[in-house]
Amino acid sequence: MNKSLIIGVIILLVLIIISGLIYIFLLSKYVVPLQNVNTQPPMIGGWEPWPSDTSNLRPVPAAPQTWTVNIKDFESASYGLGARIGDTVKWINSDSVPHQIIGDGFSSPILYTGDSYSFTFRTSGTFNFHCAIHPAKIGTILIRPKN
């Protein structure tokens, strides 16, 4: 076989591999993984509002807990926190742009990189929230009863 033909084929294969890697790298920032596709906003605390079988639930610690939501790379909130009445949820902006958390009964100031906002939930229920600056960024926090 012609030596220049073999070199040409090798160069073509290398270019195809490099362009594929660049394509995957660029798309990974903008494509939502299919594993969590849902028409509902993601819930902090789990996907089901209340468990159907409560026989195997463990006792809840008496002391309130603080749960951290890290705002980063424009990700929506999809954390299984297990928050209860009296617990505090703390949002920390680890993103390079400002955000402002607006929810059912709570509102943060504008959070710049490194800023945080905390809110203590006094009632159980489902609390929707969004970013006032980026309204497409939404989430839901599920606060369960203490018992």
Q: How many CA atoms lie within 13 A of 92 on its CB side?
A: 7
Model confidence over 119-142: pLDDT tens digits? 999 998 888 888 899 888 888 888
Which range, 9-13, 74-78, 101-105, 106-110, has the best average confidence (pLDDT)?
A: 106-110
- pTM here is 0.57
DSSP 38-106: -SSPPEET-SSSS-S--TTPPPPPSS--EEEEEE-TTPPP------BTT-EEEEEE-SSS-B-EEETTE
Nearest to 134 by CA among 53, 75, 47: 75
Nearest to 47 by CA among 77, 85, 91: 77
